[in-house]
Amino acid sequence: MFYGVTDIWTYALGALFIVLLPGPNSLYVMAVASREGVAAGYCGACGVFLGDTVLMILSAAGAASLLKTHPALFMLVKYAGAAYLGWVGLSLLRQALANWRGDAPAGGEAQAEASKPFQRALVISLMNPKAILFFISFFIQFVDPQAAQPAVAFLILGVILQILSALYLSALIFGGAYLAAQFRSRQRLAAAGTASVGGVFLGFGMKLATASLS
């Protein structure tokens, strides 16, 4: 046992597989990096880190149990998250259409759009009630209920997950920036890629809208 963590290596392996699962967070960070560069990608990644930290704290504090015992609250959070993911997907589709036509916004509007990756990634991370349920069901398996300071165990588990997430998102950021460099002279190919990401976000939104507590 390590400071209240029952099996740290099994947890680390499980956390690695969890991080590698495709989801809206990682997809959005890669999309931002491919459109706006490495710096914007890391702004989005910071939003993911903060959102995941908030979810982990809420999970440790019992927010998941609150959602389970109050179905109406779960439904409210679920549909709000689904609506936001759908809005992000539609925004990407609209941007892809503008790029395809060659009339994408530039100047001030483009700069304003580039200033939002942190906020968008943060909201995308937070608007997912299934993540709260997952965090509590996963973390609790590796925290000794008899530990003198369970908060330390949760902190260790959270740090491990965030390190793995940072490494994975860094790979996606630089990969996205590389693809952007390759597609820069192929405007319609880049527009098709953005449209594909938008379609996936719409799919994430529909999947979340049909999620259940079970």
Average pLDDT in the 103-130 region? 66
Torsional sign, CA 178, 184, 185, 191 = positive
Whether residue 103 has pLDDT greater than 60: no
Average pLDDT in the 95-116 region? 57
What pLDDT, on a 0 to 100 scale, did the predictor assign at position 113?
A: 47
Return the domain boundaries, the chain. Answer: 8-209
Instruction: Indicate left, alpha or beta for 5 from its phi (over 0: left) and psi (-120 to 50: alpha).
Output: beta
Strongest mean pLDDT among 25-39, 95-109, 194-208: 25-39
pLDDT tens sequence across 52-64: 888 888 777 766 5
Whether residue 31 has pLDDT greater than 60: yes
pLDDT tens sequence across 153-195: 778 888 888 999 999 999 999 987 877 666 655 666 666 666 7
Residue 118 contacts residue 46 (beta carbons within 8 Å): yes
Query: Is the whole model's pTM more than 0.75, yes or no?
Result: no
